[in-house]
Amino acid sequence: MRGYQSGCVSDATALIRRVSPMLHRLFAADAASRMHADDLLQETWLRIHRVRHTYRTGQPLMPWLYAIARHVRIDHYRRTRRAMDREESVAEVPEVEATAAEAAQSDELDTLLAALSPNEREVIELLKIVGLSLEEVARTLSCSVGSVKQKAHRAYKKLRRHLHEMRIASSQSGAVP
């Protein structure tokens, strides 16, 4: 990052190649932004480029990057909501189909995470899908480590209960759990 801040093109390229897949997974994990993941990634890198001077050397880089990505996703959601409020639907646009395996995995994950509040879902995505530490998630979300632990604990509890209910439902219907 220091090289990128000082204008080294090779350092910037190396950083983009290393971090882009992780940021893309973050955007693709969110059902609302899945079809916009590439655009959100590009917008994130534009914003990182504009504010690269604000990164403090010696501080962890990933929470700083994920905080920017989070704000890009929030801004995108707000823009989308404003546009939807003003638009009238003329016709439905057909969506591009994902492969069957990707669609099934995505649907299962969405179904499982639907039981969580948006805050809990975001914490679980950052911890388990992106792979950040508790401290990094806390920095990304601008909250304390204790708050992240509490949200994660509540989310795990809801997920266990939801999985238990799903097993009971499948056993009652005769399906194999």
Q: Are 105 and 36 in the same domain?
A: no
pLDDT recorded at residue 95: 63
Q: Are 110 and 130 in the same domain?
A: yes
Give the highest mean pLDDT range of 29-33, 88-92, 116-120, 148-152: 148-152
Say how many domains are in the chain: 2
**Of 89, 119, 153, which residue sits at a domain end?**
89
Q: Are 80 and 20 in the same domain?
A: yes
Distance CA 153, CA 161 (A): 12
- Residue 104 corresponds to which tokens in the numbers above? 């099934």
pTM for this model (two decimals)? 0.55
**Of 38, 54, 89, which residue sits at a domain end?**
89
Q: Are 3 and 57 in the same domain?
A: yes
Q: Are 63 and 146 in the same domain?
A: no
Distance of CA 96 to the CA centre of its chain: 21
Q: Which residue has the tokens 């993941």?
A: 37
pLDDT digits (tens, 9 = 90+) for 95-121: 655 565 665 666 777 778 888 888 999
- Percent of the chain whose predicted confidence (pLDDT) is above 90: 45
pLDDT recorded at residue 98: 54
- Residue 114's CATH number: 1.10.10.10
Distance CA 49, CA 46 (A): 5
Q: Report the greatest alpha carbon distance in the chain.
A: 63
The answer as to whether 65 is a domain residue is yes
- Residue 17's CATH number: 1.10.1740.10
Instruction: For residue 161, give every residue at least 6 positions away whose Cβ sits within 8 Å of its Cβ, in sequence order, or none.
Output: 115
Distance CA 168, CA 88 (A): 43
The answer as to whether 94 is a domain residue is no
Give the chain's end-to-end CA distance (angstroms, integer).
Answer: 48
For residue 167, what are the domain limits?
99-177
Q: Would the CA dihedral through 115, 119, 121, 127 be positive or negative?
A: negative
Q: Would the CA dihedral through 106, 108, 112, 115 be positive or negative?
A: positive
Q: Are 82 and 106 in the same domain?
A: no
